[in-house]
Structure 1
Amino acid sequence: MPARLIDRYDHVPETNEDLDWADLITLDLGLYDQDNGKEKLVKQLDHAVRKVGFFYVKNFNIPQDEVDRQFALGRAFYALPLEEKLKYHSSSDLERGEYNGYRPAGHRVLGNGIRDNVQVYNIPKFDGHHHRQQPAILQDHIAEIEAFSRKCHTEVVEKLLRLFAILLELPDEDQLVRDHQYDVRGEDHLRYMHYAARGAEENKKVGGLYSPGHTDLGTVTLLFRQPVAALQILNSEEQWKWVRPQDGTITINTCDALTALTGGLIKSSIHRVHAPPQDQAHIDRLGVLYFARPNNHVVLDPIQNSPVLQRLGLATNAFTEIGQHLTTEQWVKVRQTQQQRRRQEANISTDGRYTYAEKDLEIVPGLQAKIYN
């Protein structure tokens, strides 16, 4: 049978509201292959990853029409009837930390009786170790999806890993790349993410948030530009700032595994998803993201051969300080199990502060997840 036709995806207009935007650097990956280009990029990157953990990249060799095709595929999936999407959902999988496939909205109660408004569909990287049935609308275009997934890795993730290696003064700039090989078993995945617009009264009951402040668990997250303003970051002055959707860019945030590998030098970025501003409050928000993680066998202890970490005395992390030497596979499983748990409701104050019971935030004994208010 011929592949199902996918309509062109046109992005909605950006907000016209005067929001308090974050001041983030933009790395021009067009410099990457130029003389001294990587060194110039590292100088830009240094402050961003130590202080905030968020930055943009541009000129990343993935044409906008290919990005828009992924948005169109995500839209086509979410347009399926719920009973069709639920064929790719398993509550028992989520409870044991298996996060690929579909998660419907309403899986968790945020607080005050309001359930989450986000649908997630995760497609694992094509490393030969994640065999999953896909819905026909995606399976018909699976070669295109794989090509996009691989480009995210080679054109963006691997280049950033080399920049991080230079920042850490590692003897081989490919050291981190070898720990993040696409065709070696790992937990990288592409995600289509759909936030349904909510009414003002419901938003008020959950502090105006779609998702409270948190960090991601991997190495880096790639968030492809979409114009519905909602992402906010906590900057180094402890202020929440909106992240502006910039044309032709990917928003990058650094994550927990990279923080662990660098003994805390590289900051795991703190972010949340706020209800959109008034002129976009009625619009559903569709996201395309790529999550990069170290290969499953990599032990998340601080890197031993970084002169920078040695000079700064950064030889421990949150795992080693409680006697744990977790592999990526172990870390992902325990963190996802905690994240996907059908928790009791948070106690949400009138000013939007989320407080959970300690047992709901326990990842492993001695290590708690953090909610940033």
Structure 2
Amino acid sequence: MNKLVIASLFGVVGYIVLINVLKYIHAVFCYDPQPETKPFRLNPQYFGSSYETIHVKTSDGKQLEGWWIPYTKNEPLMVYCHGNAGNLESRAFKLATINQQLHLNILAFDYRGYGHSENEFPTHDGIRADVNAAVDLAQEFVNQGKASELWIYGHSLGGAIAVDYVRQHPDKATTLILENSPMSLRAMAAIIAPKIIHPAIDYIFDNVWNSRENITHIRTKTVFIRGMCDGLVPSFHSQLLYKLSAAKKKLLISLPRGLHNTDWDEEGKIVVRKIRKWLENEEYEGDSEADEEESSELSCQKTDSKQKVIVTEQIQNIQNIEINEPKQAKMITEESNVAMRRKNGFGI
């Protein structure tokens, strides 16, 4: 009997240890916070946009720091959700460029653990609370007449976070913009996680930030931006999300030489031109066939020939997938993920 009790105790302890190890792997994969104690050296004003520092209080009592970058009260307000690494300082040029060229008011913020926000390691629930608080503040600004309507923009993991928010709050934002955003954490883990944990991916990575599922429930107007030379989130992730999207109006923008972090000094001009055309012309539905063909060919010299063949084949397969064939889409995507595994570490 004593042996049975001891064995049971060891089993319970082992189970608790295993669960915590899996949670740690999950958290480290998802979030790479960069806290900062010194003032940022770069900010939107450095690149020609006026701004002010704002503070956001979350429902669980955490304090976040962000930037309010105004344009005019007659233009939309865009809430910006950044990716899993860095902080606002590394997005200063991008935010200033979007502010000036897309004519948008912007509310950008750092999640908990990032930048000057409260120094606590982020969790899924914590990130959700952060986004809720930031969007609530943005809505207050709209209600006060500081902007005309609310948009949400998410880059990389921030795109998955934005999609999660919009699914839960379908009436908040009028437009959703996703840049190089992954289909799901499981899909990304299959690409960049060490092979040793591949058999446990389904157990380690739960269903949170699952854009492949969430996007099928969202009717909000949506823009998908993909860099065809993205070395981290393969471009077919955006292609598949676009195909599966239930948005009442949607646009896919393919940047032939675009990397994971869009060069807003060059490719950004393409993004601005196409989004403006999309907003002004109800009939405009995206890239022409010629543009799409050029994008699918991946005119990117930094992409090796073997990878180019793999990605091009997967894009061609996905282009034939209809929205009512999610099982086939899932099969092709998962096969692609295996083929496209990276060795360049995390950073979504």
| Larger relative contact order, structure 1 or 2 (CA cutoff 8 Å, min sep 6) | 1
Relative to the length of structure 1, the TM-score reads 0.27
| Higher helix fraction (1 or 2) | 2
| Higher strand fraction (1 or 2) | 1
Relative to the length of structure 2, the TM-score reads 0.29
Which structure has the greater CA radius of gyration?
Answer: 2
